[in-house]
Amino acid sequence: MKIAALQDESVLEGLPEPAVELKRVSRLYGSFVALREVSLRLPAGASAVLLGENGAGKSTLLKVISGLTAPSYGTVQIFGEPPQEQRGRISTMGHATMLYDDLTGMENLIYFAGLNDMGERAALEHIAAEALRAVNLDAANPRRVGEYSQGMRQRASLARALLAQPELLLLDEPFSNLDVGSAHSMIDRLLAYGSESPTRTLLLTTHQAALAQPLAQTTITMQAGSVVSVVERAGAR
Amino acid sequence: MSYAAHVWTHLRKDLRLEWRSKDSINGMLFFSLLVVSVFAIAFDPTAFPGISRQISGGLMTVAVLFAAMTALSQSWVRETQNGVLDAHRLAPAPLSALFVGKALANFLFVSAVEVVLAPVFAVFYNLHPLGQTWKLLVILPLGTWALVVNGTFFAALSLRTRNRETLLPLVLLPISIPALLAMIQATTAVLTGEFEPTAWLKLLLAYDVVFTMASVLLFETILNAD
pLDDT computed for residue A5 by the predictor: 41
Question: How far is the CA of A160 from the CAs of A61, A130, A221, B110, in angstroms?
Answer: 21, 11, 28, 32
pLDDT computed for residue A235 by the predictor: 55
Chain B residues with CB under 8 Å of a chain A CB are 1, 5-6, 9, 13, 16-17, 20-21, 78, 81-84, 86-93, 224, 226
Q: Are B6 and B56 contacting, i.e. CB atoms less than 8 angstroms apart?
A: no
Question: How far is the CA of A56 from the CAs of A78, A212, A216, in angstroms?
Answer: 22, 18, 19
- Helix, strand counts (H, E) of chain A: 5, 10
Distance CA A106, CA A104 (A): 5
- Complex ipTM value: 0.86
The model's confidence at residue B185, banded by pLDDT at 50, 70 and 90, is very high
pLDDT computed for residue A8 by the predictor: 52
The pLDDT of residue A62 is above 50: yes
Whether A91 has its CB under 8 Å from any CB of chain B: the answer is: yes
The pLDDT of residue B210 is above 90: yes
pLDDT top residue among A122 and B15:
B15
pLDDT digit string (tens) for B81-136?
Answer: 899 999 999 999 999 999 999 999 999 999 999 999 888 888 888 888 788 889 99
Coil/strand/helix, residue A41: strand
Distance CA A237, CA A44 (A): 10
Beta strands A90-93 and A32-42, pairing class? unpaired
pLDDT top residue among A45 and B40:
A45
Alpha helices in chain A (DSSP H): 58-66, 105-115, 121-134, 150-163, 180-195
Query: Do B16 and A103 count as a contact with CB atoms less than 8 A apart?
Result: yes
A98: nearest CA in chain B? B84
Q: Are B70 and B27 contacting, i.e. CB atoms less than 8 angstroms apart?
A: yes
Q: Rounded to the nearest 5°, which phi and psi values hold at A229?
A: -160, 150
- Longest CA–CA span in chain B (Å) reads 60
Distance CA B81, CA B95 (A): 18
Q: Where are the domains of chain A?
A: 1-89+169-181+200-237, 99-165
How much is the average pLDDT of A134-162? Answer: 91
The pLDDT of residue B51 is above 60: yes
Distance CA A171, CA A96 (A): 11
**A133-142, B41-50, B87-96, B139-148: which has the minimum mean pLDDT?**
B41-50
- Per cent of chain B over pLDDT 70 is 100
Nearest to A150 by CA among A175, A169, A113: A175
pLDDT computed for residue B122 by the predictor: 84
How much is the average pLDDT of A72-91? Answer: 92
Beta strands A2-3 and A20-29, pairing class? unpaired
pLDDT digit string (tens) for B145-171?
Answer: 999 999 999 999 888 777 777 888 888
CA distance B100 to chain A (A): 14
DSSP A16: P
The pLDDT of residue A37 is above 70: yes
CATH code reported for the domain at A1-89+169-181+200-237? 3.40.50.300
Alpha helices in A79-141 (DSSP H): 105-115, 121-134
Alpha helices in A81-120 (DSSP H): 105-115
